[in-house]
Amino acid sequence: MTIPRIKVLIWIAALTPLAWLVRQGFRGELTADPVKYITHFTGRTALIILFITLCVTPIRRATGWNGIIRLRRLIGLFSFFYAVIHLLIYLAFDRGFVFTELGEDIAKRPYITIGFSAWLMLLTLAVTSPKAMVRKLGGKRWRAIHRLVYVVPVLAVIHFTWAQKKDISLPLLYAAVLGAIFAIRLAMWARNRIGFGQPAGEALN
Ligand code: HEM
């Protein structure tokens, strides 16, 4: 299948959670607290898509399918898309678009401080994601900025955990999945550096 076709499938898959949410809205299935429900739904969706973004490189290494890298930006942007909805819902319905109240929350509620930091980093990643930005910033600086992709999910999982009143089993499950993704990436990186099991030239890629 060609990359443009796969991109169409990614658009469809990535917009499905939003379509599902709208459907639930029309059917009156957003629970007794729709704002909370939508905040949770969009936050989790942003996080899951971020995890998928982190899986692109390991899939490329495991399968040798280099073209998959051309899909990473689109997938990452959808994570940002849901994080934007997540913030907007909070801002509109919890804070009535009063930005000073958001500022107070950022200053006084640690889980919001962390969520906001993660959001700003996602914004930085999104703004610097076009190819033109790689040229503008230079490869070295661009790569340094894009290391934020490892920080954002960690902050988001802390934000998730801290936002819970009682039961933290679900955020712990997300933390375990993130730990597994990091472990796989680290193992692949180490293997690549040592050049274990592959021709010497490939170890440098
Ligand atoms: C300014 C930025 C952000 C604000 C103001 C914000 C706000 C919130 C609020 C109010 C909640 C619900 C807490 C409750 O249950 O009472 C929440 C939960 C959550 N947020 Fe955020 N958030 C922000 C950024 C992010 C980002 C960037 C992500 C992910 C990439 C994220 C992921 C989540 C997740 C996964 C939950 C928990 C959902 C659940 O309990 O099922 N948030 N956030």
Phi–psi pair at 149, nearest 5 degrees: -60, -20
* DSSP state letters, 182-195: HHHHHHHHHHHHHT
17 CA → ligand 1 middle, Å = 16
Q: Which atom of ligand 1 is nearest to the CA of 152?
A: 30
124: Cα separation from own chain's centroid: 12
Number of neighbours of residue 19 by Cβ within 10 angstroms: 10
- Give counts: helices (H), strands (E), the chain: 9, 0
Residue 49 and residue 95 in contact, taking contact as beta carbons nearer than 8 Å = no
178 close to ligand 1 (CB < 6 Angstrom): no
Q: Which two tokens stand for residue 37?
A: 């429900």
Residue 162 and residue 111 in contact, taking contact as beta carbons nearer than 8 Å = yes
Per-residue pLDDT of the chain (205 residues; tens, 9 = 90+): 899 999 999 999 999 999 999 999 999 999 999 999 999 999 999 999 999 999 999 999 999 999 999 999 999 999 999 999 999 999 999 999 999 999 999 999 999 999 999 999 999 999 999 999 999 999 999 999 999 999 999 999 999 999 998 899 999 999 999 999 999 999 998 988 886 554 443 333 3
Residue 14 and residue 79 in contact, taking contact as beta carbons nearer than 8 Å = no
Q: Which of 159, 168, 173 gets mutated to test ligand 1 (max ligand atoms within 8 A of its CB)?
A: 159
Q: Residue 196: its pLDDT value, please?
A: 56
78 close to ligand 1 (CB < 6 Angstrom): no
153 CA → ligand 1 middle, Å = 12
Cα atoms found within 13 Å of the Cα of residue 157, Cβ hemisphere only: 18
Residue 122 and residue 145 in contact, taking contact as beta carbons nearer than 8 Å = no
Q: Residue 99: its pLDDT value, please?
A: 93
Q: Which two tokens stand for residue 95?
A: 């804070």
Q: Residue 1: its pLDDT value, please?
A: 85
111 CA → ligand 1 middle, Å = 8
